[in-house]
Amino acid sequence: MEINLTEKNENKIVFVLKDTDHTFANTIRRVMISETPVLAIDEVNFYKNNSALYDEIIAHRLGLVPLKTDLKTYNLKEECSCKGEGCPKCQLNFTLNCTGPCTVYTKDLKSQDPKIKPVYDNMPIVKLLKDQQLEFEAVAKLGKGKEHVKFSPGLIFFRNYPEITIKKEANAAKCIKSCPKDLFEVKDKKLIIKDITKCDLCEACSEACPDSIEINGSTKNFIFEIESWGQLTPKEILEESLNVLDEKLDEFSKKIKSL
Ligand SMILES: [Zn+2]
């Protein structure tokens, strides 16, 4: 197996995973989406809310606010030494008290732990008119995407690595025009591919020029994209998913030995 990084920034990585199969790639993807824990608001106690939105709607919006997550400090509630009762090792509180006229933003949430705060300061929660007031206490905990999508760490997907064959007498002008991703160019009188990783296998080129181009998706090489919502870095998402998979396999192996 081989990993080649093709794109990396704060919230996104793209890499080519080589010499593996669809089952392995999809296992990693599913573990990342549904088993990698992140923090999210899970409970809200409203003390005052005479805004235009019901408590339930505001609570739902708060649940979807991405919170910077520290996996070293916090445990999953069900795995915590408090046995799920809730303690500073598995949950934290946010408070908010705003009086209108104003727009309440995520930056108005006051966190009990200075390390943990909303990823984005300027997400609107609700608009308050004159004399309207919103006051609540919210409890955030670690959770997994399989429990609720608010605990999902990002948008993660992969596609088959494109395999493009350009035949000898290719109609260059027609091929270049057919590709919506502008993938082809002519160099030294030959039709070439600029950046094959940009191809999303739409097959527009092979449909427009069946005599010039043949296109297939590889069954052992894949292009993986991890786009984080901001709670964890893309690398942390990948690393944590492998830890989770490791633990699951260890547990499975122990169970088998005890049979
Ligand atoms: Zn606890």
Buried b (16+ CB within 10 A) or exposed e, 222-255: bbbbbbbbbbbbbebbbebbeebbeeeeeeeeee
Q: What percent of the chain has pLDDT over 90?
A: 75
> If you measure from the C-alpha of residue 84 to the centroid of ligand 1, how many angstroms do you get, rounded to a whole number?
6
Protein residues near ligand 1, an ion, with CB under 5 A: 80, 82, 87, 89-90
Instruction: Write out pLDDT tens, residues 80-122.
Output: 999 889 999 999 999 999 998 999 999 999 999 999 999 999 9
Q: Average the pLDDT over 11-28 and give the result.
A: 95
- Tokens coding 193: 């591919």
Q: Average the pLDDT over 58-74 and give the result.
A: 95
CA-based nearest residue to 226, from 6, 15, 3, 35 = 15
> If you measure from the C-alpha of residue 150 to the centroid of ligand 1, how many angstroms do you get, rounded to a whole number?
20
pLDDT at 115: 92
pTM listed for this prediction:
0.85
Q: Is the pLDDT of residue 169 over 80?
A: no
| CA–CA gap between residue 86 and residue 29 (Å, rounded) | 30
> If you measure from the C-alpha of residue 108 to the centroid of ligand 1, how many angstroms do you get, rounded to a whole number?
26
Q: Is 217 helix (H, G, I), strand (E, B) or coil?
A: strand
pLDDT at 84: 87
> If you measure from the C-alpha of residue 79 to the centroid of ligand 1, how many angstroms do you get, rounded to a whole number?
8
Instruction: Write out pLDDT tens, residues 243-252.
Output: 999 999 999 9
> If you measure from the C-alpha of residue 211 to the centroid of ligand 1, how many angstroms do you get, rounded to a whole number?
64
pLDDT at 195: 86
pLDDT band at 212 (very low <50, low <70, confident <90, very high): confident
> If you measure from the C-alpha of residue 33 to the centroid of ligand 1, how many angstroms do you get, rounded to a whole number?
24
> If you measure from the C-alpha of residue 78 to the centroid of ligand 1, how many angstroms do you get, rounded to a whole number?
8
- Tokens coding 186: 């002519």
- The H or E element spanning position 237 is helix 234-257
Q: Is the pLDDT of residue 41 over 90?
A: yes
pLDDT at 198: 86
> If you measure from the C-alpha of residue 237 to the centroid of ligand 1, how many angstroms do you get, rounded to a whole number?
23
Instruction: Write out pLDDT tens, residues 113-148.
Output: 999 999 999 999 999 999 999 999 999 999 999 999
> If you measure from the C-alpha of residue 80 to the centroid of ligand 1, how many angstroms do you get, rounded to a whole number?
4
Instruction: Report whether 51 contacts 124 (CB < 8 A).
Output: no
> If you measure from the C-alpha of residue 75 to the centroid of ligand 1, how many angstroms do you get, rounded to a whole number?
7
- The H or E element spanning position 249 is helix 234-257
Q: What is the mean pLDDT of the chain?
A: 93
pLDDT at 146: 95
